[in-house]
A and B are shown apart, each in its own frame.
Chain A
Amino acid sequence: MDYFRAHVLICGGTGCTSSHSPKIQQEFADQLEKNNISKEVKIVTTGCFGLCAQGPIVVVYPEGAMYTMVRVEDVKEIVEEHLVKGRLVRRLMAGDTEAEDTSKSLENVGFFKNQVRIALRNCGTINPENIDEYIAYDGYKALQMALTEMKPEDVIAEIKKSGLRGRGGAGFPTGLKWELTAKAEGDDKIIACNADEGDPGAFMDRSVLEGDPHSLIEAMIIAGYAIGANQGYIYVRAEYPIAVKRLNIAIEQAKDYGLLGKNILGTDFSFSLELRLGAGAFVCGEETALITSIEGKRGEPKPKPPFPAVRGLWQKPTLLNNVETYANIPIILTKGADWFTTIGSEKSKGTKVFAVGGKINNTGLVEVPIGTTLREVVYDIGGGIPNGKKFKAAQTGGPSGGCIPASLIDTPIDYETLKEIGSMMGSGGLIIMDEDNCMVDIAKFFLEFTVEESCGKCPPCRIGTKRMLEILERITGGKGEMEDIEKLEILSKNIISSALCGLGQSAPQPVLSTLRYFKDEYIAHVKDKKCPAGVCKSMMRYVIQADLCKSCGICAKNCPVGAITGEKKVPYVIDQDKCIKCGVCMEKCPFKAIFKNV
């Protein structure tokens, strides 16, 4: 057996891979070889650390030193300084506000210090392509406990007791879902996993699949035992190639170890697992559409009831949970429901992972106890808003969710509280907006998305969302009228009450919630024909302030459409008919004489 004195963990998640972490890994291998220490230092590919904004990320143990934004050229220095001489390369370490003298190891970085990682417990710690490392951190121990010490109903009772709720968005109690499926009529039952993560900006499921695929597999086997199913399907987006690859590797390894297949761990329980790839339709994240897609048909939703728990895949009772929900299962069994209930809020136990993006310093994945306030997520963990701008709103739940305005920043993030204020937990996308974001434009963006992704089966969604989008385009185009706002509200209510599936029923939410908190912005667009944030181009003018203009002509030279004219000693002017509002002139003006007039 080989012993290593140091481990170099390199992030192999999608984010860091696209910023060339595989090249960095190769360079580490070459440099270790060159310095003759490749036998002392082990290189490990891991899943996502969560701090995606600072990638590619490299962590060196035993110090736990975290290097951020590492370039191939930096590797030589890390190897020669840190690994050969034992001196940390401070200039590459997480750029945090911590005092200089604390060693900037993982635990001391503000971003990690305030998190509680349950679903992401192994991401960034283990090598996802090595089942042994998963097993080392108590992996498959929960399965072993369930199969040898617990009856199926004990497992369900424990999950019920934990208070775990579905992490896919709606927050249905997981234990109850398991119980309903277990009690449903029919001997042949099926376990399914929704890994068709489609909300724009949400990528927590991808990180679990990439960083800790065995936790999902273990949970699905346990679910099979609990409800009496012997077959499972993971429905994963084909757009997640790294996740698909690692899931395939993980399933093969689990089969090799006899953790999947016949007579698992020598008991009489058998379970097999297959992948099904989605072809990129957002609607297939809706449970009934997902089920029809797995069956090999066109992915369209069906009316509920019957719910999947009663009649799902091939008319058999089907347990369908999302990736993050499953990732919580093994640790609930090994540590106990009592431990799990100590984390979280009164009605919602445990943690939730958020993919934080938009106008925030630490873009990335954040796992916090449910009930944490938005302020803590944005400022303590997210590092605040860049460029000293003001926080305006946060969007949760993607195209099905709504906005939380700045006045409600101290709201605890919880299924109930978010619903009360007109948003929703959703799958966990959290998009932060500052004063430069136009809320009408945001609503339009999400509606464009739903119009594009509507499957077309039911008219309220197919036609209704299209009409709403047309109204929003009118408003942002400066041609809106006051009755348009009313029409939006009426249409929204009708679509919500008549659409067939969750996609349509929630599609008007972004409009309703922005209307609720930012109606003045809609009115400004309609009445004053102004976009207060200066985003909607049709209502914006660039003007040159005559007394500041030095007639240098730089703006005219840079204007791509030749809209600026002037001569020496006379201030330049912009021809508003020709101007395409690209803003290049304002950027280039050396005297800051050009202004955006909103």
Chain B
Amino acid sequence: MKSIAELEAIRKKTLDQINMRTNKEGTRVVVGMATCGIAAGARPVMNTFVEEVGKRNLRDVTVSMTGCIGVCRLEPIVEVFNADGTKATYVKMTPEKAARVVAEHIVNGRVCKDLTIGAVEEEENKA
């Protein structure tokens, strides 16, 4: 038999799992998953996003995919759309970097500037 507290725990846990069916606002993480993206390793990057978002119970964050963004040489590319409509484009992503983006950008609102397209391009130009 379940107690009221146990019911509440089930409610919370299950809501985290099925939340994507109702939630329409909040942060959207879009991973480029065209051939170029997948070849460059976009799948583990996306899986990391899904896992991290799930583990942290981030209810207003959805992770979805998109096609080729166009700068294939910088894949895997991930765009994070904030609730206010602004966005950051992260390039040359890895699972480790993905975890950092979740922790710093999505949870704490600090864009990981060194991973964005602007910073990476600048680095490349210098080199």
Using a CB–CB cutoff of 8 Å, the interface residues on chain A facing chain B are 1, 3-7, 9, 40, 61-64, 84-87, 107, 125-126, 132-133, 135-141, 144, 148, 257-259, 261, 263, 265-266
Chain A residues whose C-beta falls within 8 Å of the C-beta of B3 in the assembled complex: 265-266
Tell me what chain A mostly uses at the interface: helix, strand, loop, or mixed: loop
- CA–CA, A488 to B54, complex, Å? 68
Q: Verify if B86 is at the interface (C-beta below 8 Å from A).
A: no
Instruction: For residue B37, give the distance in angstroms from its CB to the closest CB of chain A.
Output: 9
Instruction: For residue A221, give the distance in angstroms from its CB to the closest CB of chain B.
Output: 13
Chain A residues whose C-beta falls within 8 Å of the C-beta of B18 in the assembled complex: 7, 126, 133, 136
Which of B4-12, B87-95, B108-116 is near enough to bind chain A? Answer: B4-12
Q: Verify if B103 is at the interface (C-beta below 8 Å from A).
A: no
Chain B residues whose C-beta falls within 8 Å of the C-beta of A139 in the assembled complex: 11
Q: List 22 A-B contacts (CB under 8 A).
A: A1-B13, A1-B17, A3-B51, A3-B54, A3-B55, A4-B50, A5-B65, A40-B50, A61-B20, A62-B23, A62-B64, A64-B24, A86-B64, A86-B65, A87-B66, A135-B10, A135-B14, A136-B15, A136-B18, A137-B15, A265-B4, A266-B3
Is B20 a contact of A62 with CB atoms below 8 Å? yes
Tell me what chain B mostly uses at the interface: helix, strand, loop, or mixed: helix
Q: Verify if B80 is at the interface (C-beta below 8 Å from A).
A: no
- CA–CA, A85 to B10, complex, Å? 33
Chain A residues whose C-beta falls within 8 Å of the C-beta of B67 in the assembled complex: 85-87
Q: Verify if B1 is at the interface (C-beta below 8 Å from A).
A: yes
Is A62 a contact of B1 with CB atoms below 8 Å? no
Task: Kindly identify which residue among A86, A107, A135 contacts B24, using a CB–CB cutoff of 8 Å.
Answer: A107
Using a CB–CB cutoff of 8 Å, the interface residues on chain B facing chain A are 1-4, 7, 10-11, 13-15, 17-18, 20-24, 30-31, 33-34, 46-47, 49-51, 53-55, 62-67
- CA–CA, A148 to B66, complex, Å? 48
Is B11 a contact of A138 with CB atoms below 8 Å? yes
Chain A residues whose C-beta falls within 8 Å of the C-beta of B11 in the assembled complex: 135-136, 138-139, 141
- CA–CA, A559 to B20, complex, Å? 58
Instruction: For residue B20, give the distance in angstroms from its CB to the closest CB of chain A.
Output: 4
Given known contacts A135-B11, A144-B4, A257-B1, A85 and B33 CB-to-CB distance under 8 angstroms: yes
Closest A-B pairs by Cβ, 10 of them? A258-B1, A86-B65, A3-B54, A136-B14, A62-B62, A136-B15, A62-B20, A132-B14, A5-B50, A86-B66
For B64, give the chain A residue with the smallest CB separation.
Answer: A62
Given known contacts A61-B20, A86-B33, A257 and B63 CB-to-CB distance under 8 angstroms: no
Task: Kindly identify which residue among B13, B14, B64 contacts A63, using a CB–CB cutoff of 8 Å.
Answer: B64
- CA–CA, A61 to B54, complex, Å? 15
- CA–CA, A63 to B21, complex, Å? 9
Instruction: For residue B45, give the distance in angstroms from its CB to the closest CB of chain A.
Output: 12
- CA–CA, A62 to B54, complex, Å? 14
Chain B residues whose C-beta falls within 8 Å of the C-beta of A87 in the assembled complex: 66-67
Chain B residues whose C-beta falls within 8 Å of the C-beta of A265 in the assembled complex: 2-4, 7
- CA–CA, A266 to B5, complex, Å? 11
Given known contacts A132-B14, A135-B11, A3 and B50 CB-to-CB distance under 8 angstroms: yes
Chain B residues whose C-beta falls within 8 Å of the C-beta of A136 in the assembled complex: 10-11, 14-15, 17-18
Chain B residues whose C-beta falls within 8 Å of the C-beta of A259 in the assembled complex: 2
- CA–CA, A63 to B53, complex, Å? 17
Instruction: For residue B114, give the distance in angstroms from its CB to the closest CB of chain A.
Output: 26
Is B21 a contact of A85 with CB atoms below 8 Å? no
Given known contacts A5-B63, A64-B24, A125-B22, A144 and B7 CB-to-CB distance under 8 angstroms: yes
Is B21 a contact of A7 with CB atoms below 8 Å? yes
Chain B residues whose C-beta falls within 8 Å of the C-beta of A133 in the assembled complex: 14, 18
Given known contacts A63-B64, A265-B3, A132 and B10 CB-to-CB distance under 8 angstroms: yes
- CA–CA, A370 to B14, complex, Å? 33
